[in-house]
Structure 1
């Protein structure tokens, strides 16, 4: 398998795990011991605080994803590196064909495009990884919250 195929397979796997975790969301608490709505709201607030402090995860922060980066700084130099590699290869081929300058220009253009593809693939993999980490943090928080609510007599689903 090529590096590109492995990167794509990893991104797909992370996305599938993330979508599965995202579909789960916050557990539902049923007042199994006849607690009133007011008592349930109070217990929910207490468990929110307890789960936040015991897990070290603030769900208000963990559930917000950072905005996607854009602009010329994004890409980690893949386009520039691709252009340089393409220009070097194109110059060699162009020299053999009789016009090194034209070969270098064509190679640089092709290399820039390939670098752009690489940059987009890397960005997608980074975004999927960040989202998976956020979902993992929320899962940890929800387990703590559910344990607290069960301790207060609620049935959790």
Structure 2
């Protein structure tokens, strides 16, 4: 953002007004942009997708192995391995979506703060672009 100094305002006065508007925006919105930006991005959520994939794969592989070769154990092993891979892929997609949602929420919070700060500065006669 760019601030144009209001009529008859010194750079010193601008710095004071900027500081008071930052404090006001933080209080008014409840958002500290430095804390929001520094907050770690975490992923939680669907745990055990690899294990569930392995179980589903083993079950399907056992059926296919029994029908195709008369040996359900080899089919179960192959199916379990494929299920682990598929479950891992689902887990990674889920985690990537969580990270994206958190980053979007951070950006929206910081934007809310800066809109409040801009309104304060405008109220003091500054032009905020």
| Aligned partners of 1:75 and 1:120 also within 8 Å | no
Deviations 1:41-80 (A, max 9, x none): 11111001000000111111112241455xxx98611111
Question: Scaled by the length of structure 2, what TM-score is found?
Answer: 0.92
Structure with higher Rg: it is: 2
Query: Distance between the aligned counterparts of 1:146 and 1:155, measured in 2?
Result: 9
Q: Determine if the alignment matches structure 1 residue 42 to structure 2 residue 13.
A: no
The answer to whether residue 119 in structure 2 is matched with residue 147 in structure 1 is: yes
Which runs of at least 4 in structure 1 moved beyond 2 Å after TM superposition? Answer: none
1: CA distance, partners of 2:36 / 2:26: 11
Partner of residue 54, structure 2: 83
Asked whether 1:92 is paired with 2:63, we answer yes
Distance 2:104 2:39 in 1: 11
Deviation at 1:35, TM superposition (A): 1.8
Distance 2:84 2:8 in 1: 66
Q: Does structure 1 conserve the Cα–Cα contact (< 8 Å) formed by 2:57 and 2:81?
A: yes
Q: Which runs of 5+ in 2 are unaligned?
A: none
Distance 2:56 2:67 in 1: 17
Kindly provide the CA deviation profile for residues 101-142 of structure 1, in whole angstroms up to 9, marking residues without a partner as x.
Answer: 110000001000001110110011000000000111011101
Instruction: Give the superposition deviation at 1:40.
Output: 1.2
In structure 2, the residue matched to 1:60 is 34
Instruction: Give ranges in structure 1 of 5+ residues lacking alignment.
Output: 1-26
1:21-52 CA distance string (max 9 Å, x none): xxxxxx22110314222111111110010000
Count of residue pairs brought into register by the alignment: 128
